[in-house]
Amino acid sequence: MCSFSVFCFKNFQIMYVTVLLPYLFMFILLIRTLLLDGASVGLIHYLKPDWSKLTDMTVWSDAGTQIFFSYSLGLGVLTGFGSYNKIHHNSLRDCCLFAVANTFTSLLSGCIIFATLGYMSHISNIPMNLIAESGPGLGFVVYPKAIGTMPLSSFWSICFFSMIILLGIDSMFGGAEGIITAVADYFPKALAKTWIRCTFVAGVCIVNYLIGLSMVTNGGMYIFQLFDYYSGSRIILIVGLLESAVIGYIYESSIINSSGTVNYHGDQNHFDQQGSTLMMENSSLNVSHL
């Protein structure tokens, strides 16, 4: 993984394979799952809204947490990737494209999962609300069990786990890049040297490997849940609240305005001074309510 990461940092073309290939597997699995008996039941369960849940603040908190985690907000990943753009890069366009792609991917994966759960409910005569579960049990217990009952189960298993592996590699790239970019900004001269950067990347990968190794022991599930709750749960909302509050209330609005003006070639219409400040203040207020 270390050598693969160093290779990918120098050859970003490999990212087109690891990012786009999972979509191919997802479309293949989508077509297959939609043809299963009971798939429509799962899709209805997935897409039919329960308006009574809108009064439950836990649902709003979980939804906000999912958005933060899905978009990698507050984790430094997007900031790290964005730091490689040119000064006049159209970041607003990228944000819109990223939001659309992320929403599309979430809906696509949801259709695949719930169509399969509907199939499992059909063949086992178990209600959907009892067969559906969250967490690693869904991806590594329920879904593989469903694939095992399909014709050509070996082929579908290869597609599914290849998709999981590629998505996991992409996630590791993002997490490692967030750390590496932050350190490189503090020590630009040191990490400008290839051998130092490669050594540091290898060190980050080794540390991540050792942490991940603890999660495959007999008590690894408890360690995984501990990391999942404290790094990918409501703590991200707190980080987002603090970041929005600092930018909206402490960071000078004139600096925000000047940065936006430079990035958009002096076009004031893209970045209004008062509007940007109010946006950050409202963001911090909304996050605090979650």
Residues 6+ apart with CB under 8 A from 234: 61, 65
CA end-to-end span of the chain? 37
171 is in an annotated binding site: yes
Q: Is there a contact between 156 and 150 (Cβ–Cβ < 8 Å)?
A: yes
Residue 37 counted as an annotated binding residue:
no
Report residue 290 as tokens: 């979650």
Determine whether the annotation assigns residue 208 to a binding site: no
Query: In this structure, what token pair is assigned to residue 58?
Result: 């836990």
Alpha-carbon distance of 278 to 83, in angstroms, equals 24
DSSP code per residue over 86-107: -TT--HHHHHHHHHHHHHHHHH
Asked if residue 218 lies in contact with residue 239, where contact means CB atoms within 8 angstroms, the answer is no
Does 167 count as an annotated binding residue?
Answer: yes
Residue 70 annotated as binding site? yes
Burial of 112: CB neighbours in 10 Å, binned 0-12, 13-18, 19+: buried
d(CA 196, CA 186) in angstroms, rounded, equals 14
* Annotated binding-site residue numbers: 70, 102, 167, 170-171
* Annotated binding-site residue numbers for Na(+): 70, 102, 167, 170-171
